[in-house]
Amino acid sequence: MAVVANGATVRVDSISMNETTRRTAYRWMTLTRTFDETMVAMWKQGRGIGGTFSERGHEAVSVGAGLALGPDDVVAPMHRDLGTYLLRGMAPERIFGNLLGREMGVSAGRDSNLHGLGDLDLNIIGFISHIPQAIPTALGAAMAFRYRDESRVAMTFVGDGGSCSGAFHESLNMAALYNAPFVLIIENNQYAYSTPLSQQMKVADIAGRLPGYGLSAVTVDGNDVEAVYDAAAKAVERARSGGGPSVIEARTMRMLGHAIHDGAEYVPEALLTEWQKRDPVLTFRARLIESGVPEADLAALDEQAAVEIAEAVRVAEAAPMPDPASVGQRVYA
Amino acid sequence: MAVVANGATVRVDSISMNETTRRTAYRWMTLTRTFDETMVAMWKQGRGIGGTFSERGHEAVSVGAGLALGPDDVVAPMHRDLGTYLLRGMAPERIFGNLLGREMGVSAGRDSNLHGLGDLDLNIIGFISHIPQAIPTALGAAMAFRYRDESRVAMTFVGDGGSCSGAFHESLNMAALYNAPFVLIIENNQYAYSTPLSQQMKVADIAGRLPGYGLSAVTVDGNDVEAVYDAAAKAVERARSGGGPSVIEARTMRMLGHAIHDGAEYVPEALLTEWQKRDPVLTFRARLIESGVPEADLAALDEQAAVEIAEAVRVAEAAPMPDPASVGQRVYA
Amino acid sequence: MSDNFGFANTVDRASDDRTLTYLEAITEALFVEMDRDENVLVMGEDVGGEFGGAFKATKGLAAKFGDRRVINTPIAELSFTGMANGMALMGLRPVVEMQFADFISSAFDSIVQFAATSHYRGIGKVPWVIRAPSDGGIRSGPFHSQNPEAWFVHTPGLKVVAPSTPADAKGLLAAAIRDDNPVIYFEAKPLYRSIKGLVPGGGYVSEIGKAAIRRPGSDVTVIAYGTQVHTTLEAAHLVADDGIDVEVLDLRTLKPLDTSAILETATKTGKVIIVHAANRMVGVGAEVAALIAEEAFESLDAPIVRIGGLDTPVPFSPPLEDAYRPTAAKIEAAIRKLADY
Amino acid sequence: MSDNFGFANTVDRASDDRTLTYLEAITEALFVEMDRDENVLVMGEDVGGEFGGAFKATKGLAAKFGDRRVINTPIAELSFTGMANGMALMGLRPVVEMQFADFISSAFDSIVQFAATSHYRGIGKVPWVIRAPSDGGIRSGPFHSQNPEAWFVHTPGLKVVAPSTPADAKGLLAAAIRDDNPVIYFEAKPLYRSIKGLVPGGGYVSEIGKAAIRRPGSDVTVIAYGTQVHTTLEAAHLVADDGIDVEVLDLRTLKPLDTSAILETATKTGKVIIVHAANRMVGVGAEVAALIAEEAFESLDAPIVRIGGLDTPVPFSPPLEDAYRPTAAKIEAAIRKLADY
Ligand SMILES: Cc1ncc(C[n+]2csc(CCOP(=O)(O)OP(=O)(O)O)c2C)c(N)n1
Ligand SMILES: Cc1ncc(C[n+]2csc(CCOP(=O)(O)OP(=O)(O)O)c2C)c(N)n1
Ligand SMILES: [Mg+2]
Ligand SMILES: [Mg+2]
């Protein structure tokens, strides 16, 4: 597997997906894509409440990285990591319930859209809007594992935008200093809202800066689920075996607007056309077929996803809103 | 002049001090040292109010960097950059007045010790305690110069400790992005209060990380005033001519405690003994004599410093405290 | 809402008054002030280019004034606000947009430690404005609905304004930009497109530190600001039929408070309710209540009532958010109770 | 100060009570709680090793519990507090030291956005404690003298305590550590070595949310916390000779407030003064005054008076700082005036 470390392409030992894992990856990617498309359609139809974020184009990152974790590992995904939530076992109807402010939603109507999807029973730390708070939080989880000598790893995600913020630096410095079992995935999707990379940083090689902290840092093709998985699995293994923290910069593209209301007119058409050819779900699907997986198997997974998501929407839409009298509950533990 | 850029020693065009500048540098260094020794003695005698910070060991940094600026340039020194304040024309009695809470002190009794020594007429932005606030502030000054197309440069300072904080990263990223006429001096004195470098970062080469931002970054001997001046003068020239921001990591040693009350028992004796041999004032004095400057000239400067500082203390100690009725004044412009 | 929110009572209508939305009034203030003073610039996330900000308040500015004066920043609130501090010390007048008021906490040190203290400490003047799109009720959840003004009203050295009308949206923004101190300008997102009003053309300023009576009345006073001025006017309207005559005072500026206007209305009616969407506990309403309880005690005919957000994060789900926020119905009930006291 | 600050009135003296300074009581709580629960750890700048923190509150902990449980951090308040959030979610109980309370603003997002909201949003419990050495009067200037509690009392989801006695310094720190929520513990620097008092040995807890009468009285109530409890007791002593009988209520916990204790004393005396060193404007005193003005209105015999820090940064110079802060003389004057009302 070719990865780019500190600016130069190097070869590293590959942790390749086996046949089962590849099928599993496809299952979660198609489920994620289906969820996302359904959600976007619902919001366009006025069936949503508030805003929401599409993760279209990020499926290889959220699924590839998420699959690299063991069940006891903790993950703190961000607003475009729907795939990670799903593959960790968060039921789609609970997420739709959250989007629709339902009592049965993950946050019981307290938090909105893809924020607040936290469930420690699933070892998921929910997202907080303030960027990039997830980094120090997940690092703290890693520090807890180190403190208790547990063989667990904490992973989190940040955008290109979030990488410009102070906690990114503070936390990566401490992650290296404390040799924490910590993995950070930088989801470099070339935009922070309307702001392109060129208006965020002078040198657009984020991972390239990080070896200077004493961290392992690589750049991978964020549209290739196998590449992301490979890098993430190695990083997780390194962290678990005491080798310390790693950062993986996954280069990808945000294929829709920042949030549901955003038409993203500021993104050059050509850029989208080019990246559309590299669609992570479609390219992976084609690769699987090429490698001998029967298309019917994949179609069955697509069909299953459609059924699951339709049912999840039905359940969530039918579910009751929280009782207004409960508004003051849950503030304190 | 040999500087270490990005880990490797490289030769760069030297901007050497001429004879006059060297004598000027010595004048400010001996004045700074005298001020500092007098202050420390006063506080030990119980003639101080509140705490204060010694800059012993940092004279080459504050003087070397400060001398590289032109009169219209702006500087935001930190708590150990007494030399910079002095050479920009801040009268010693005004600084003692500040230390002693006097009305005639720089902040008119509002701010304490070496904080709040601001005087925009001298193009000095006063220090704020919250580390490293000086960095974005000075960067803002640089941005103002760029905005108005002025040929001015803004310089500021940060410690090894402050380099671990978020604003360091945010600001350097933006400095590079906006190509600001900005110079940052990292005063790496190996400790942040009681915390040695090894407990602050895994890789103790701060400057080494910065070229990845698109910044020029070098490391110099912070006890060699000529080396600091050379690097700073080149950085200022680069900034002034549109070449963008630079960072200079000056390696030095804090020779006394963090603040006046701190005995610094946590610093290994051997480290201090070794650095004592490299005392920036004494080594520079010896070098000047070796290069043919008559010792009598230097002794005259020492003597002049002693007289000036004694007079400054006298004036400040005799000066009245602020009127308590004025406490609510100056909150708003 | 009657009579242009009382605006017609206090300002001469210039011949070029136009009816603008609250949001249009904000944008107009930016155009006018940038035109008037080359030192005024706009910065923040996504404010530049064609895009013009998450709420489009800065749309068109880059086209007219160029990228030099309309600066897109990375996500780095602490340091771009810190940069504004340095720019302001050098004589510029940056208008910093927080994408949402909620993210102002990320810039906290640069505001409450540096900007707020710098003049007092002799560092220099820091004439910036932070525009903070605040308030909820629009189903935006705990991180896009906050009203964090109390933190800043508590902090010495800042000024804080919170317009409730298009005229003030323009006038207070212009005043904030011309003020030599750091001013936080809380603009109410729910009002952006929901209200329109007459706005004077040209360089128009609403004085900082002056409250305004939006509805004169004699029985009960309700003191509010921002969106809640409108909720209150609605409640006042609902009780008017029953002969309860409510005076509505719009604070407009939260720091410095217009203490004489507050004490005057409290003395007049003797019954006071204070309403804001921010958390009631140690909110601005507490200060107003305490002020009245100390300085107008003898005139009081009833307990001082506060209606505010609950002591919870702002919940997302509609029934929860409605339970959380002041509503016209809640204000109405409080007015009736107090009128009967 | 009489009777061990009223402590003897409320707690049984165990046989191993000792007289400790306020600072020793803090350190003792850390020793006891770390001993009791392996999940308790200490982190912050300079807290580790031989050094034991800027004020030596953590001295000896590293020697006893090792570097693993006493962690020196770089200067990165935002992220080391954020790290504490993550640790706490995983079941640890980090006790984070801010070197001075003034620097808590650097960690603001991690506190008011993440920790404060996480349980409500279903993320999980965040059982940390932030120890914040606060208060001035000791010539430390604007950045080492702050009392920033109001920001946090306003913020939903936090708890805030502020002990005034050695017994509470220990008992409230222990309670904060055992609490399942984020608790900010404001310790008063001026009290560190200036007061001593009996402190129960072993695992002793002062209940969070309970105020204490430090001096019963019938004429005027003064409500205070932290250092100002002592300034108030001094003032009460000064007026006692003139037959003015002052009741002194020590809040101890600022969030949640002990509203019944506040209303009880207000109802009893009908005359209330609230004192704190933090800026008066939108301070905790404003909340207490507003609470009384709403809920004990009928019992009031006089205006509610607040004495607080002025609306300026904390000035350094002694005459300025004395003018800025509440002093016994200022409190005394207010008591006399109110007694005569
Ligand atoms: C501190 C902070 N400032 C501003 C925002 C508003 N905001 C939400 S997402 C976003 C852009 C994030 O860009 P990036 O980190 O690249 O992630 P992406 O959305 O591209 O996945 C912004 C500015 C925020 N959430 N937090
Ligand atoms: C945000 C913040 N946290 C803590 C402090 C307290 N403090 C003052 S100086 C200092 C150490 C600074 O170390 P460094 O940056 O290396 O500068 P040096 O004192 O060594 O020159 C600390 C922790 C502070 N001023 N600001
Ligand atoms: Mg992005
Ligand atoms: Mg240092």
Q: Mark whether C144 is an active-site residue.
A: yes
**What is the C-alpha separation between A267 and A263, in angstroms, rounded?**
9
Residue D118's closest CA among A160, A28, B81, C142?
A: C142
**Smallest-distance ligand from the CA of B165:** 2
**Smallest-distance ligand from the CA of A162:** 1
Q: Are the folds of C18-199 and C212-339 the same? A: yes
Q: Are C197 and C4 in contact (CB under 8 A)?
A: yes
Residue D59 contacts C where some CB pair is shorter than 8 Å:
no
Residue C204's closest CA among C57, C59, C62, C11?
A: C11
**What rounded mean pLDDT belongs to chain D?**
95
For C267-330, the DSSP string reads HHHS-EEEEEEEESTTSHHHHHHHHHHHHSGGG--S--EEEEE-SS----SHHHHHHHS--HHH
Between residues 244 and 303 of chain C, which touch chain A (CB distance below 8 Å)?
Answer: none
Considering only alpha carbons, which residue of chain A is nearest residue D38? A148
Contact C317 A321 (CB under 8 A): yes
The pair of structure tokens assigned to B194 is 């009681």
Kindly tell me the burial class for residue C256, based on how many C-beta atoms sit within 10 Å of its own C-beta (0-12, 13-18, 19 or more): middle
Residue A82 contacts D where some CB pair is shorter than 8 Å:
no
Between residues 131 and 150 of chain C, which touch chain D (CB distance below 8 Å)?
Answer: 142-143, 150
**What is the C-alpha separation between C244 and C237, in angstroms, rounded?**
9
| Tokens 């017609």, residue located | C8
Residue A164 contacts B where some CB pair is shorter than 8 Å:
yes
Distinct helix (H) and strand (E) counts, chain D: 13, 14
Q: For the residues D139-144, what does the mean pLDDT come to?
A: 96
The pair of structure tokens assigned to B175 is 């400095």
A302 has pLDDT over 60:
yes
pLDDT digits (tens, 9 = 90+) for D76-112: 999 999 999 999 999 999 999 999 999 999 999 999 9
Looking at the structure, give the CATH architecture of the domain made up of residues C18-199. 3-Layer(aba) Sandwich (3.40)
Q: What is the Rg, in whole angstroms, of the alpha carbon atoms belonging to chain D?
A: 19
Residue spans per domain, chain A: 2-6+16-319
The pair of structure tokens assigned to A154 is 């904490």
Query: If you ran DSSP here, which 8-state letter would residue A73 be given?
Result: S
Substitution site in A113, A188, A258 for ligand 1 pocket (most atoms within 8 Å of beta carbon):
A258
Q: For the residues C45-53, what does the mean pLDDT come to?
A: 97
Contact D120 C300 (CB under 8 A): no
b/e per residue B261-275 (b: at least 16 CB within 10 A): ebebebbeeeeeeeb
Contact A118 D157 (CB under 8 A): no
Question: What's this model's pTM, rounded to 2 decimal places?
Answer: 0.96
Q: So what's the pLDDT on residue A14?
A: 66
Residues 6 or more apart in contact with residue B18 via CB below 8 angstroms:
none
**Band of pLDDT at residue D15, cut at 50, 70 and 90:** low
Residue C110 contacts B where some CB pair is shorter than 8 Å:
yes
**What is the C-alpha separation between D329 and C274, in angstroms, rounded?**
33
**Band of pLDDT at residue D265, cut at 50, 70 and 90:** very high
**What is the C-alpha separation between B20 and B67, in angstroms, rounded?**
12
H or E segment to which residue B140 belongs: helix B134-147
Percent of chain A with pLDDT over 70: 96
The pair of structure tokens assigned to A74 is 């903790």
Query: If you ran DSSP here, which 8-state letter would residue B211 be given?
Result: G
Q: Write the residue in C46, C79, C141 that is nearest to A50 by C-beta.
A: C141
Q: So what's the pLDDT on residue A13?
A: 55
b/e per residue C45-84 (b: at least 16 CB within 10 A): bbbbbebbbbbebbbebbeebeeebbbbbbbbbbbbbbbb
**Band of pLDDT at residue B140, cut at 50, 70 and 90:** very high
pLDDT digits (tens, 9 = 90+) for B155-211: 999 999 999 999 999 999 999 999 999 999 999 999 999 999 999 999 999 999 999
Distinct helix (H) and strand (E) counts, chain C: 13, 14
**Band of pLDDT at residue C12, cut at 50, 70 and 90:** very low
Percent of chain C with pLDDT over 70: 95
**What is the C-alpha separation between A312 and D282, in angstroms, rounded?**
47
Pocket of ligand 1 (CB under 6 A): A 80, 129-131, 159-162, 187, 189, 191-193, 254, 258; C 45, 75, 77, 99, 103, 106
Residues 6 or more apart in contact with residue C115 via CB below 8 angstroms:
C81, C85, C88, C126, C128, C157, C158, C182
Q: Within 10 Å of residue B290's Cβ, how many Cβ atoms?
A: 8
pLDDT digits (tens, 9 = 90+) for A161-219: 999 999 999 999 999 999 999 999 999 999 999 999 999 999 999 999 999 999 999 99
Contact C123 B118 (CB under 8 A): yes
**What is the C-alpha separation between C31 and C40, in angstroms, rounded?**
10
Give residue C286's Cα distance to chain centre: 17
**What is the C-alpha separation between B49 and B260, in angstroms, rounded?**
11
Residue type, B164: C
pLDDT digits (tens, 9 = 90+) for D270-329: 999 999 999 999 999 999 999 999 999 999 999 999 999 999 999 999 999 999 999 999
Rounded to the nearest 10°, the torsion over CA B304, B305, B308, B310 is -120
**Band of pLDDT at residue B332, cut at 50, 70 and 90:** very high
pLDDT digits (tens, 9 = 90+) for A140-150: 999 999 999 99
**Overall fold of domain C212-339:** Rossmann fold (3.40.50)
**Band of pLDDT at residue B13, cut at 50, 70 and 90:** low
| Tokens 């160029």, residue located | C66
The pair of structure tokens assigned to D178 is 């055992």
Residue A273 contacts D where some CB pair is shorter than 8 Å:
no
Residue spans per domain, chain C: 18-199, 212-339
Tell me phi and psi for residue D247, to 5 degrees: -95, 130
Q: Within 10 Å of residue A11's Cβ, how many Cβ atoms?
A: 9
Top-confidence residue, A116 or C53: C53
H or E segment to which residue A21 belongs: helix A19-44
The CATH code of the domain at B2-6+16-319 is 3.40.50.970
Residue C43's closest CA among C89, C75, C3?
A: C75
Q: So what's the pLDDT on residue D17?
A: 77
Percent of chain B with pLDDT over 90: 94
Residue B139's closest CA among B101, B178, B102?
A: B178
**Band of pLDDT at residue C17, cut at 50, 70 and 90:** confident
pLDDT digits (tens, 9 = 90+) for D149-182: 999 999 999 999 999 999 999 999 999 999 999 9
**Band of pLDDT at residue C193, cut at 50, 70 and 90:** very high
Residue type, B115: H
Rounded to the nearest 10°, the torsion over CA D210, D215, D216, D221 is -80
**What is the C-alpha separation between A285 and C173, in angstroms, rounded?**
54
Query: If you ran DSSP here, which 8-state letter would residue B321 be given?
Result: P
Residue C144's closest CA among A215, B76, A131, B216?
A: A131
**Smallest-distance ligand from the CA of B258:** 2
Residue B110's closest CA among D229, A36, C120?
A: C120
Q: What is the 3-state secondary structure (H, E, C) of B26-81?
A: HHHHHHHHHHHHHHHHHHHCCCCCCCCCCCCCCHHHHHHHHHCCCCCCEEECCCCC
Q: Which residues line ion ligand 3, judged by CB < 5 Å?
A: A 159-161, 189, 192
Q: Are B168 and D76 in contact (CB under 8 A)?
A: no
Residues of B in contact with C117 (CB under 8 A): 128
Indicate the angle between helix axes B92-99 and B19-44, nearest 10 degrees. Answer: 30
Q: What is the 3-state secondary structure (H, E, C) of D186-254?
A: EEEHHHCCCCEEEECCCCCCCCCCCCEEEECCCCEEEEECCHHHHHHHHHHHHHHCCCCCEEEEECCEE
**What is the C-alpha separation between A145 and A171, in angstroms, rounded?**
16
Q: So what's the pLDDT on residue C115?
A: 98
